[in-house]
Chain A
Amino acid sequence: MSLLDRDTAARVIRTALSRGGEFAELFAERRSGYNLRLEEGKVEENTSGWETGAGIRVICGESVAYAYTNDLSLASLEETARAAAAAAKAGRSAVVGLEKPLRLLPRREDHPVRLDIDEFPRERKVELLHRADQAAREAGSRIVQVVVVLGDARQEVFIANSLGEAVTDLRMRVRMVVQAVAAHEGEIQTGHESPGILGGYELFQEFPPEEVGRAAALQALTMLEARPAPSGPMAVVIANGTGGVLFHEACGHGLEADAVYKKASVFAGRLGEKVASPLVNAFDDATLVNRWGSFAYDDEGVRAGRTPLIREGVLVGYINDRKRAMRDGTEPTGNGRRQSYRHVPIPRMSNTYIEAGRERGEDIIADTELGLYARKLGGGEVNPVTGDFIFAVTEGYMIRGGKVAEPVKGATLIGNGPRVLLDIDAVGSDLDFDTGMCGKEGQAVPVCTGQPTLRVRELVVGGTTEVV
């Protein structure tokens, strides 16, 4: 059953534009989800939920008015549309494409689901958590705690706008996050793994829960042996996979068109300029099949796309949403995303990555005399205006004489996004991805970050000891 019929949608959109505005849109969704959490070997959280809601948006110049409700009755939607309309300034009016019935764009099946979340029984979902937990505990006696979280969600959306278009889409996602805690003689360290998919429970065919649990445990156990990290500038080799979070945070957010427009980005006004080492090619690509950050249509009903960001070191593109495309006179790139009907769509990354280069990852390490090997990066923060960033290295090693040497703990990478891009002097061929929930303006959306092994000539490592 469709969430809303097209006639109702057209009526609500007309109400939203009744006091002016250049664009109006209705976004309705029905979402159901199931979340399990295991800790101390026990399933302690077992939650299901469902919600319906709709958000109505009116764009008037640079202004956006947004109103939402949980009640999809016509009366409630009309009231919500009037609240959104009240914010529009009279005078500017839209060219409304609503003379004819809304045109429904074709449903896309770009991301096939092989094991539907609603057909996968509760018992088997619970079993996945126990398998990950057991494997993590068997990795070593110093593993003192394991937390496994499994979440699945089905989101049906209906999007209609004053251009006369309507879109329906179904997104199904599954993700497991394992955190292992290791302890020895008062020292505590943690390890994380988090595979996810735009799809169903086939995720665990590629990532058996045992391997996920074991990998998280081994990371925690390794860091237990670590020495305090040194501090000071040094060469840093960032491993493939999780390292992509650095590009996402330190550069990707600066390529979002709203940040560019506000000049809250070091990349504003720099299209066509050299911003990175010629070894760097970067993309945002929501079309990668079944990737955690992918989709068929974005949350404004724009078809998903693959957007080149940096080509051989030259800045070639930004990612935008409908509003920025309208205002900047460019085409929408299909990056208008929102957490839910409660949120205004804004330019967001999908799967953002640095493309594979030619060198083998191990050769890059072999070519490094002394430095830090950042095997896994944790979270970080970036000042978008300056590009200055800080990242925690959650699994790090020294590189000595071209070999990965002792593990080091408590290291952070501190630097500046654009400067790091220019300082990349080696790019590997081993592109890999990691999943994440990206936060911006209080909204979390699923994204992938990706990169091959690469080396930054020099970065400041914040640690607690001198380099020895």
Chain B
Amino acid sequence: MESHADLVARLEEWVERGRALVGAGAELELYAQEHRGLTVRVFRGEVESLRYAHSRGVGVRVLREGRLGYAYCTGFDWRDCSRAVEEAAANARFSAPDEHNLLPSQVDRTPGDLGIYHPEVEETASRDKVDLALRLEKLTISLDPRVKRVETAVYADGVSVVAVANSLGVSGSYRSSDCHCYVFPIAEDGEESQTGFSFDQGVRPSDLDLERVAREAAERALCLLGSRSMPSRRTTVVLDNMVAAEFMGMLAAALSAEAVLKGRSFLAGKRGEQVASSLVTVVDDGLLPGGPSTAPFDDEGVPSRRKELIRDGVLTGYLHNMYTASRSGTQSTGNATRSSFRERPGVGATNLFLCEGKGAREELVRGVDDGVLILQVVGAHAGANPVSGEISLGALGLRIKNGEPEQPLREITLAGKALEFLRQTVAVGEDLRFLPFEGSLGAPTVVVEGVMVSGRG
């Protein structure tokens, strides 16, 4: 794999050659990404699949009089790249002009060590990575006779190099590594079966705590055995930290200035307002040491930083890239994101999380006389709408009576409005945890009062 310093040098050269192609009056940005990764999936003590990935590509943004065109290619040479530059310039002709389409200009940054790369990922043999996945599966089924099998156990890692260069003088690059593992065990008792889940993540294989993952995943499946529905009622819910982190996805989408500007956010126009209980503080930190979405700069080259979005319940700001910042008359917060070189930058969270309060999950549950501990939600994509703020989700969990989790529950739904959930938050725990999927979202356990839980019986 090319070193990131070489890659950025090459991009700088292509930017120079590209300027000649697009002519005067046009600005140009190149974004290159190279990735090597391995994913091991095991099943019943055998490797179910082993996947080596090697992908690379270049995305080109051309701006002319505020008109934006984009093109990408997988060739890593000037022949392919020059075609992409020409294609992006042609696309720009058919786009609407918008004065807020801007590229960042030269910026100072102090990268420092962000703890996002460790050579161990590249130095560890594939065979040892396969063993990690096999061990995770074996550990999971060894804990309880009712957990006889796992649906899937996975180890995955990758090393990426990213470089950005534009015609206004911005250029930079970085290298990162990541690895994670997860397991979905199935617990069975008679006719009933329940699925559990747990994961761990880090920048190198030795960061992963397989024992903890196996134990937690098995427990999460086992505790749901014997579940049934419950009669509909308004009650107190305790959101497990993984569930609360899933809800942060809805908040992240609504905090995007892009969504706000386009009327697609239930938080639009609420800056400075008390939108949540004073226990709620939400931060997005692009420089969080070792964080899954940590990088020295965002996907258009603006330096990353930490910012508070909700402080003590008051909405203090939104997530911005260059475009939304210009439209809103503010500065980019370093939140330009793209899922790959195939996409122009949008707005997205980096490491976005609900700050810790006080108390372990057990203590929070103990404080609830009558309620529901939610361990899994289903339908988070469809049922948690960041546009309207409506929440309607299927859930699995445990009935809480006198501070003790008791009867397992299935076929129940949670319904309400996100703002109600935020305002009716009565406790925030101290067990902050990040979910590595779809960005990097984190939350501790959260207790919310007066939530409509529906079921049958």
A residues contacting B by CB (< 8 A) are 39-53, 61-70, 80, 83-84, 86-87, 122-123, 126, 144-145, 147, 181, 183, 187-190, 231-233, 262-264, 342, 344, 378-383, 385-386, 388-392, 409-412, 414-416, 460-464
17 A–B contacts from the bound complex (CB under 8 Å): A46-B69, A47-B91, A52-B74, A61-B46, A64-B49, A66-B52, A67-B54, A70-B75, A86-B126, A145-B262, A187-B388, A378-B382, A386-B192, A390-B379, A390-B383, A392-B379, A410-B415
Whether a CB of chain A sits under 8 angstroms from the CB of B335 is no
A63 to B43, CA, bound (A): 9
A388 to B149, CA, bound (A): 20
Q: Are A379 and B379 in contact, with the CB atoms below 8 A?
A: yes
Given the known interface contacts A84-B52, A390-B378, the answer about A126 and B72 at a Cβ–Cβ threshold of 8 Å is no
Q: A383-B195, A412-B415 are in contact. List 11 more A-B contacts (CB 8 A).
A: A51-B72, A63-B49, A66-B51, A68-B53, A70-B76, A188-B387, A232-B232, A342-B55, A385-B194, A412-B413, A460-B411
Contact of A392 among B55, B383, B455 (CB under 8 A): B383
Q: Are B49 and A65 in contact, with the CB atoms below 8 A?
A: yes
Cβ–Cβ < 8 Å partners of B263 in chain A:
144-145, 181, 183, 188
Cβ–Cβ < 8 Å partners of B57 in chain A:
51, 70
B residues contacting A by CB (< 8 A) are 43-44, 46-57, 68-76, 84, 87-88, 90-92, 94-96, 98, 126, 149, 151, 186, 192-195, 229, 232, 262-264, 266, 342-344, 378-383, 385, 387-388, 390, 392-394, 410-413, 415-416, 452, 454-456
Q: Are A190 and B410 in contact, with the CB atoms below 8 A?
A: no
Q: Are B72 and A410 in contact, with the CB atoms below 8 A?
A: no
Cβ–Cβ < 8 Å partners of B96 in chain A:
41-44
Given the known interface contacts A46-B92, A83-B52, A462-B392, the answer about A392 and B342 at a Cβ–Cβ threshold of 8 Å is no
A391 to B48, CA, bound (A): 31
A210 to B193, CA, bound (A): 48
Q: Are B193 and A386 in contact, with the CB atoms below 8 A?
A: yes
A268 to B73, CA, bound (A): 43
Q: Are B94 and A43 in contact, with the CB atoms below 8 A?
A: yes
Contact of B70 among A46, A69, A84, A231 (CB under 8 A): A46
A49 to B87, CA, bound (A): 9
Contact of B54 among A70, A183, A262, A264 (CB under 8 A): A70
Q: Are B94 and A126 in contact, with the CB atoms below 8 A?
A: yes
Q: Are A462 and B378 in contact, with the CB atoms below 8 A?
A: no
Q: Are B43 and A87 in contact, with the CB atoms below 8 A?
A: no
A241 to B75, CA, bound (A): 41
Given the known interface contacts A51-B73, A181-B263, A391-B382, the answer about A460 and B454 at a Cβ–Cβ threshold of 8 Å is yes
Q: Are B51 and A462 in contact, with the CB atoms below 8 A?
A: no
Given the known interface contacts A46-B94, A380-B382, the answer about A462 and B74 at a Cβ–Cβ threshold of 8 Å is no
Q: Are A122 and B94 in contact, with the CB atoms below 8 A?
A: yes
Q: Are B151 and A262 in contact, with the CB atoms below 8 A?
A: yes
Cβ–Cβ < 8 Å partners of B50 in chain A:
63-66, 87
Say what secondary structure dominates the interface of chain A: strand
Q: Are B94 and A62 in contact, with the CB atoms below 8 A?
A: no
A147 to B259, CA, bound (A): 12
Given the known interface contacts A62-B46, A412-B379, the answer about A46 and B151 at a Cβ–Cβ threshold of 8 Å is no
Given the known interface contacts A40-B262, A144-B263, A385-B151, the answer about A460 and B456 at a Cβ–Cβ threshold of 8 Å is yes
A383 to B383, CA, bound (A): 15
Q: Are B74 and A70 in contact, with the CB atoms below 8 A?
A: yes
Given the known interface contacts A342-B53, A342-B55, A385-B186, the answer about A49 and B72 at a Cβ–Cβ threshold of 8 Å is yes
Contact of B266 among A39, A80, A188 (CB under 8 A): A188
Contact of A68 among B54, B151, B194, B380 (CB under 8 A): B54
Contact of A70 among B56, B382, B394 (CB under 8 A): B56
Q: Are A410 and B48 in contact, with the CB atoms below 8 A?
A: no
A342 to B263, CA, bound (A): 36
A62 to B46, CA, bound (A): 8
A53 to B56, CA, bound (A): 10
Given the known interface contacts A68-B52, A390-B394, the answer about A379 and B381 at a Cβ–Cβ threshold of 8 Å is yes
A464 to B392, CA, bound (A): 9
Q: Which residue of A lies closest to B341 (CB)?
A: A49
Cβ–Cβ < 8 Å partners of B229 in chain A:
460
Write the nearest CB–CB distance from B388 to chain A, whole angstroms: 5
Given the known interface contacts A64-B49, A464-B452, the answer about A390 and B342 at a Cβ–Cβ threshold of 8 Å is no
Q: Are B95 and A231 in contact, with the CB atoms below 8 A?
A: no
Q: Which residue of B lies closest to A411 (CB)?
A: B392
Contact of B454 among A123, A144, A231, A388 (CB under 8 A): A231
Q: Are A190 and B388 in contact, with the CB atoms below 8 A?
A: yes
Write the nearest CB–CB distance from B101 to chain A, whole angstroms: 9
Q: Are B392 and A392 in contact, with the CB atoms below 8 A?
A: yes
A415 to B149, CA, bound (A): 25
A26 to B368, CA, bound (A): 58
Write the nearest CB–CB distance from B28 to chain A, whole angstroms: 15
Write the nearest CB–CB distance from B237 to chain A, whole angstroms: 14
A80 to B55, CA, bound (A): 12
Cβ–Cβ < 8 Å partners of B344 in chain A:
45, 47
A392 to B74, CA, bound (A): 38
Write the nearest CB–CB distance from A333 to chain B, whole angstroms: 21
A460 to B395, CA, bound (A): 13
A123 to B452, CA, bound (A): 50
Cβ–Cβ < 8 Å partners of B382 in chain A:
378-381, 391-392
Q: Are A66 and B413 in contact, with the CB atoms below 8 A?
A: no
Write the nearest CB–CB distance from A298 to chain B, whole angstroms: 19
A64 to B49, CA, bound (A): 4
Q: Are B379 and A62 in contact, with the CB atoms below 8 A?
A: no
A86 to B342, CA, bound (A): 31
A380 to B384, CA, bound (A): 11
Cβ–Cβ < 8 Å partners of A48 in chain B:
70-71, 87-88, 91
Contact of A50 among B68, B73, B262, B387 (CB under 8 A): B73
Write the nearest CB–CB distance from A387 to chain B, whole angstroms: 10
Cβ–Cβ < 8 Å partners of A342 in chain B:
53, 55
Write the nearest CB–CB distance from B30 to chain A, whole angstroms: 14
Contact of B95 among A41, A44, A232, A410 (CB under 8 A): A44
Q: Are A233 and B456 in contact, with the CB atoms below 8 A?
A: yes
Cβ–Cβ < 8 Å partners of B266 in chain A:
188
A232 to B454, CA, bound (A): 7
Cβ–Cβ < 8 Å partners of A144 in chain B:
263
A183 to B136, CA, bound (A): 50
Q: Are B91 and A381 in contact, with the CB atoms below 8 A?
A: no
Q: Are A462 and B394 in contact, with the CB atoms below 8 A?
A: yes
Given the known interface contacts A380-B382, A381-B381, A460-B411, the answer about A123 and B94 at a Cβ–Cβ threshold of 8 Å is yes
Q: Are B378 and A47 in contact, with the CB atoms below 8 A?
A: no
A147 to B69, CA, bound (A): 18
Cβ–Cβ < 8 Å partners of B343 in chain A:
47
A64 to B41, CA, bound (A): 10
Cβ–Cβ < 8 Å partners of A386 in chain B:
192-195, 410
